[in-house]
Amino acid sequence: MMQMDRRQCLDEYEKLLVRMNTPRVLTDNASCLNATRVMIDSARKDEILLEAVQVLTDLNLSIKKGYVSSDGRWNMDVFHVTDLDGNKLTDDNIINCIEQSLETIHNTRSKPIDGMTVLELTGTDRVGLLSEVFAVLSDLKCDVVESKVWTHNGRIASLIYLKDTDSGYQIEDSDKIDTIKGRLRNVLKGDNDIRSAKTSVSMAITHTERRLHQMMFADRDYARKSDLKMENSPLVSVQSCLDKGYSVLNIQSKDRPKLLFDVVCTLTDMKYVVFHATINTTEKGAHLEFFIKHMDGTPISSEAEKERVILCLSAAIERRASEGVRLELRKADKPGLLAEVMRIFRENALNVIRAEISTTMGTALNMFYVTDAIGNRVDSEVIDSVRQRIGMVNLRVKEPSHQKIEIQEQNTSLGGAVLVSLGSLLRRNLYNFGLIKSYS
């Protein structure tokens, strides 16, 4: 009898732990005119903020405003979200999907590989490099099912999901895998990248875009100098809030989808913990403020570390910035299609600075961001020539769904910003998000 009582007590305790560790999610469409408010209460744990932001961005939602607080043992996040066209969410199916995804957030850390071979590539970027990469894969009878490619500061990182053309399944032949890796490494080396070109087969199932950030961070793209100066480069500063023991991070940037994900992902992988944050976007751009500490509870202690944080976060924001012309390819898939398209780009001196490649139901759905060979905007006549060769209907010029916003030049440095007291900051944010009636 006592054993049964003890077993029942353990069962009730386990149920309590499940309830405590399951986020409570509430969506509200009534309190905000232009956005849907998503509120998440959860027990504090590592990476909970990153996972929440990852869920929202993977659902193609844009975070317009946000408030984060995770002091003590509990975490409270509030986000004002819209679709990518800036509309509040009215479809009950989408709202239910948000709630269900966030409530099972501990199960959403990674994406299964689904029987595909995953290649990781890093090296020195150059015009025509991707054409050579995809030509090799086509020659070796590998179908590219999905891929993401980022470039920054003269470096390139790519994740490529492959299947064997003949079998339609994952490539398991170790000799063939070694051949693929060897030939691609030679392509990446080119004439002058003997040491830093890397190819590997990934067995991990980390979120694709997080893995790209990790690859470029490991490649130290943030420490490399580029001859090209990006327009609207982000302004990043780090200050000390000594009375509360925090480091205060301020970021001002052109607003775009997944901006918050890129910042939070980088902070998490650099082993910083976000205790409080505010996110605000306006017609002038995005302003993000974070109160952070190391995982051991200490703030940033040196000027060298502050400078490293600034460099790494600036790089994380710039990697996904869309400086080129966006081309959308929608065409029936066939073996060698990607290699053919990339060859046409190369013959017209188009440099692909970012790419998102996928195949759905036998149709290739690819997005390319292209510049000319020296990083300038491509002449419209060149774009028209490329479209005629690939198919005017199949390849279209697509402008981003969010408006292009130019950030006004700042007369004063972010480093001179005045820090408000943490208590005042929290009360103000609670008021702004409708959680209290007054903060005065």
Residue with tokens 């998490």: 268
Do 331 and 288 fall within a single domain? no
The candidate with the shortest Cα–Cα distance to 375, out of 349, 401, 397, 355, is 349
Backbone angles phi, psi at 97, to 5 degrees: -65, -40
Per-residue pLDDT band for 68 (boundaries 50, 70, 90) equals: very high
Q: Say yes or no: 121 and 194 in one domain.
A: yes
Residues 241 and 311 grouped into a single domain? yes
What pLDDT was estimated at residue 344? 97
- Residue 275 token pair: 């205790």
CB–CB of 333/339 below 8 Å? Answer: no
At residue 176, φ and ψ (nearest 5 deg) are -65, -40
Cα separation, 227 vs 278, in Å, equals 34
**CATH (domain of 122):** 3.30.70.260
- 415 part of a folded domain: yes
User: What is the C-alpha separation between 44 and 370, in angstroms, rounded?
Assistant: 42
In a shared domain, residues 425 and 295: yes
Instruction: With respect to residue 334, please indicate whether it lies within any of the assigned structural domains.
Output: yes
Residue 338 pLDDT grade (very low, low, confident, very high; cuts 50, 70, 90): very high
Whether 156 and 278 share a structural domain: no
- The verdict on residue 402 lying in a domain is no
Q: Give residue-wise pLDDT tens across range 16-47.
A: 444 556 788 999 999 888 999 999 998 877 78
Q: What is the pLDDT of residue 205?
A: 76
Residue 259 vs residue 21, higher pLDDT: 259
Greater confidence, 406 or 102? 102
Confidence bin at 176 (pLDDT 50/70/90)? very high
| pLDDT surpassing 70 at residue 426 | no
Say whether both 416 and 295 belong to one domain.
yes
Mean pLDDT score, 300-317? 96
Q: Of the candidates 60, 82, 107, which is a domain's last residue?
A: 107
Give tens-digit pLDDT for 190-216.
776 666 789 999 877 789 999 999 999
The segment with the largest mean pLDDT, out of 98-102, 271-275, 397-401, is 271-275
Per the structure, the complete domain to which residue 414 belongs is given by 235-320+409-432
**CB-count burial class (<10 Å; 0-12, 13-18, 19+) for 296:** exposed
Q: Are residues 63 and 206 in the same domain?
A: no
Task: Report d(CA 220, CA 201) in Å as an integer.
Answer: 21
* 91-132: pLDDT as tens digits: 999 999 998 888 877 544 445 567 899 999 999 999 999 999
pLDDT of 54 > 60? The answer is yes
pLDDT at 106: 57
Does 290 share its domain with 340?
no
Q: How many domains does the chain have?
A: 3
Q: Is residue 112 part of a domain?
A: no
For the chain, what is the mean pLDDT? 84
